[in-house]
Amino acid sequence: MSRIIFSSPSTLPQLYSTSRRIVKMSVAQTINPGVSFRSMVVKPPSHPTYDIKGVIKLALAEDAGDRGDVTCLATIPFEMEVEAHFLAKEDGIVAGISLAEMIFHEVDPSLKVEWSQKDGDYVQKGLQFGKVSGQAHNIVVAERVVLNFMQRMSGIATLTKTMADAACPACILETRKTAPGLRLVDKWAVLIGGGRNHRMGLFDMVMIKDNHISIAGGIINAIKSVDQYLEQQNLQMEVEVETRTLEEVDEVLRYTSQTKSSLTRIMLDNMVIPLPNGDVDVSMLKDAVEMINGRFETEASGNVTLETVHKIGQTGVTYISSGALTHSVKALDISLKIDTELALQVGRRTKRA
């Protein structure tokens, strides 16, 4: 069986070069994040322990392995300088520009990065929207890691923009169904696309779901336990409870009308009913929203697609949550090319530019 070995900083390989020094890197090493990037028009969401610099280091380290880029070492002189251009190969919302700058800065702070677009802008197929210049070796080393992040984030942002526009006046949310280790990056892309963030993790919001309700012995027991816990811990945070039937909605409303509670939002789960003709019946969801009548925020969940989200948004719900924004993302095709004329010729031949 193969093993993954995390080396100490002193035994890590030489991963990439600058003009006068070799940079050694450890996934555990911490970088001072006090670098200002002009392109950061949408700030990443906050997280008490997430280390985005560490994620960048890990992505670079898994690519370089224990030898570094052997192809670059064999073919590209360290002193050679080039200019490479970002090329959109399909239409969409670009995202990850600020993160790309962080990656280039981590590989080689002397690389010069310029953009004609910013995070959240619409790009058309064939558009050159940015360039990086400097040492060829370091640009090529950073290339795939930069593109992996940008393509994924742009795919999330593109889908989010489409869903958010269709959901209006409701707000579109993602869920915790993100790629492991990329929680903050995925949720950042949702913000860039015009969506809103649901809870970041298990720590920043109480969310009483079906399994909690079953273990607690009922929906009211679960809410009571949360109220007691928050009071004992002297904590104030948002509290959401999942309901699956109109009877559960009524039960929650009756309890909270008689007892002071910390509840702030009611999830209306799977109250959008698929029909044989491909349409959906939202009458149950609409009834639930009318029952709640603005006393709490409401969130529709389940059977949310590009085809159904507009109809769901017209029911009066506050939020619509969709796991598909991050768990089923289609990456936006973006490339980084030094010979852009040849890249465009090939792109036109393959209908990708």
1: which residues sit within 8 A by CB, 6+ positions away? none
State the catalytic residue, choosing from 24, 125, 131, 144. Answer: 144
Give the pLDDT confidence score for residue 38 in this predicted structure. Answer: 56
Q: What is the pLDDT of residues 187-211, one digit of tens each?
A: 999 999 999 999 999 999 999 999 9
Which of the two residues, 4 and 150, has the higher pLDDT score?
150
pLDDT band at 33 (very low <50, low <70, confident <90, very high): very low
Give the pLDDT confidence score for residue 340 in this predicted structure. Answer: 60
Indicate the pairing of strand 297-301 with strand 265-269.
Answer: parallel
- Is the pLDDT at 331 greater than 70? The verdict is yes
State the catalytic residue, choosing from 177, 196, 199, 286. Answer: 177
- Is the pLDDT at 73 greater than 70? The verdict is yes
Q: Say whether 144 is catalytic.
A: yes
- Is the pLDDT at 113 greater than 60? The verdict is yes
- Is the pLDDT at 110 greater than 90? The verdict is yes
State the catalytic residue, choosing from 38, 67, 112, 209. Answer: 209
Bridge partners (DSSP) listed for residue 131 = 85, 114
State the catalytic residue, choosing from 90, 106, 143, 269. Answer: 269
pLDDT band at 11 (very low <50, low <70, confident <90, very high): very low
Q: Average pLDDT of 8-18?
A: 41
Which of the two residues, 19 and 281, has the higher pLDDT score?
281
Residue reference for tokens 């919001």: 205
Q: What is the pLDDT of residues 154-185, one digit of tens each?
A: 999 999 999 999 999 999 999 999 999 999 99
HEC assignment per residue over the chain = CCCCCCCCHHHCCEEEECCCCEEECCCCCCCCCCCCCCCCCCCCCCCCCCCHHHHHHHHHHHHHCCCCCHHHHHHCCCCCEEEEEEEECCCEECCCHHHHHHHHHHHCCCCEEEECCCCCCEECCCCEEEEEEEEHHHHHHHHHHHHHHHHHHHHHHHHHHHHHHHHCCCEEECCCCCCCCCHHHHHHHHHHCCCECCCCCCCCCEEECHHHHHHHCCHHHHHHHHHHHHHHCCCCCCEEEEECCHHHHHHHHHHHHHCCCCCCEEEEECCCEECCCCCEECHHHHHHHHHHCCCCEEEEECCCCCCCHHHHHCCCCCEEECCHHHHCCCCCCEEEECCHHHHHHHHHHCCCC
Preceding amide of 169 cis, omega within 30: yes
Q: Average pLDDT of 329-336?
A: 96
State the catalytic residue, choosing from 90, 106, 108, 240. Answer: 240
Q: Token pair of 90, please? A: 């399909």
Q: Say whether 269 is catalytic.
A: yes
Give the pLDDT confidence score for residue 342 in this predicted structure. Answer: 65
Q: Average pLDDT of 314-336?
A: 97
Give the pLDDT confidence score for residue 44 in this predicted structure. Answer: 95
Give the pLDDT confidence score for residue 14 in this predicted structure. Answer: 44
Q: Say whether 333 is catalytic.
A: no
pTM above 0.85, yes or no: yes
